[in-house]
């Protein structure tokens, strides 16, 4: 069995939504130099819907693929649906990740949540602090 699925390889070799959004409504950056993966997600939101999303990721192929897939999963979606994004959903959409690379999908989820947190704070919108809890300490990366 190959270490990486065809979907992981496709999103690594041909990542979607790479770049920055000038004047983004929400920006989330997560990661830790200890694990070597840093993700930055940019959101453009209009009428409660993610109308555009871009990312920049410095990291391994799994981190790039996870970022790419996460952006594909939330683009065009209402915020209520974006809030339900989980790392497990990213892993399933990629047809799996090796166990030692699962933290990449966690970082993708955390980057999206950090961007949402930023959007809500910038706009003075109340949000569920437990749902969007800042967990960017990257404890899962300690090796």
Q: Which amino acids are annotated catalytic?
A: 35, 104
Question: What is the greatest pairwise CA distance in the chain?
Answer: 49
As a whole number of angstroms, the distance between CA 77 and CA 15 comes to 19
> How many whole angstroms from its chain centre is CA 133?
15
Report the relative pairing of strands 49-58 and 26-32 from DSSP bridges: unpaired
DSSP secondary structure, 48-76, as one string: TEEEEEEEEEES-HHHHHHHHHHHHHHTT
């Amino acid at each position: 069995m190959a270490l990486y699925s065809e979907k992981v390889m496709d999103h690594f070799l041909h990542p979607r939504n790479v770049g920055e959004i000038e004047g983004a409504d929400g920006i989330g950056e997560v990661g830790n130099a200890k694990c070597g993966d840093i993700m930055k997600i940019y959101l453009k939101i209009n009428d409660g819907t993610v109308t555009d999303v871009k990312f920049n990721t410095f990291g391994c192929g799994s981190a790039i693929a996870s970022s790419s897939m996460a952006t594909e999963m939330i683009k065009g979606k209402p915020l209520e649906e974006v809030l339900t994004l989980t790392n497990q959903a990213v892993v399933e959409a990629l047809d799996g990740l090796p166990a030692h690379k699962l933290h990449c999908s966690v970082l993708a989820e955390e980057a999206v949540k950090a961007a949402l947190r930023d959007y809500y704070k910038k706009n003075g919108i109340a949000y569920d602090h437990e749902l969007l809890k800042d967990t960017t300490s990257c404890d899962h990366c300690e090796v």
